[in-house]
Amino acid sequence: MDWKKEIREWLVALAGAVVAGILLTQFIIVSAVVPSRSMQDTINPGDRIVGFRLSYLFSEPQRGDMVIFRYPDDETQFYVKRVIGLPGETVEVKDGFVLIDGQPLDEPYIKEQPNQDSGPWTVPEGCYFMMGDNRNNSNDSRAWINTCVKKEKILGKVIFRYWPSLTWMA
């Protein structure tokens, strides 16, 4: 009879672990695999990253944050980009620089400025303009039909890469 108690205890522990895992991935973290070069060299194709779902529960996304969100032109896909334009701002790419309300944006995290002028775009309230760090090889707000990402479609702020090596991003 002792083995039945042992099996029951293992099943309870296993069920608890499954429930904890589901709660963790549905409400606390979001995991993603980076499929493209759009964020290179910050994160690379094949990198696995984790975002914190509660980052924007009591605050707003900040310019420069890397976020995981539902792609506005096909919400079944998750994208990873950097927040560039905030609600109410005008974003433009001109002469190799990203301009926010006419002022050049300081972006130490990118190695190559955009090579094509585009915009301007005015970011609606409650939305964000996203761009990849690899500006000349990124499918981002500049090319989308639905240009900006609504705050409620942001799934989490990228906090670390766990593959191929552990790297804190936030």
- Catalytic residue numbers? 38, 81
Cis peptide before 35 (omega within 30 of 0): no
Report the run of H or E that residue 14 belongs to, with start and end: helix 2-23
Length reported for the chain: 170
Contacts of 96 (CB under 8 A, 6+ apart): 113, 114, 115
Using CA of residue 105, residue 110, residue 113, residue 117, what is the dihedral sign?
A: negative
Q: What's the first-to-final CA gap in the chain, in angstroms?
A: 52
Among 86, 43, 85, 66, smallest CA distance to 155 is for 66
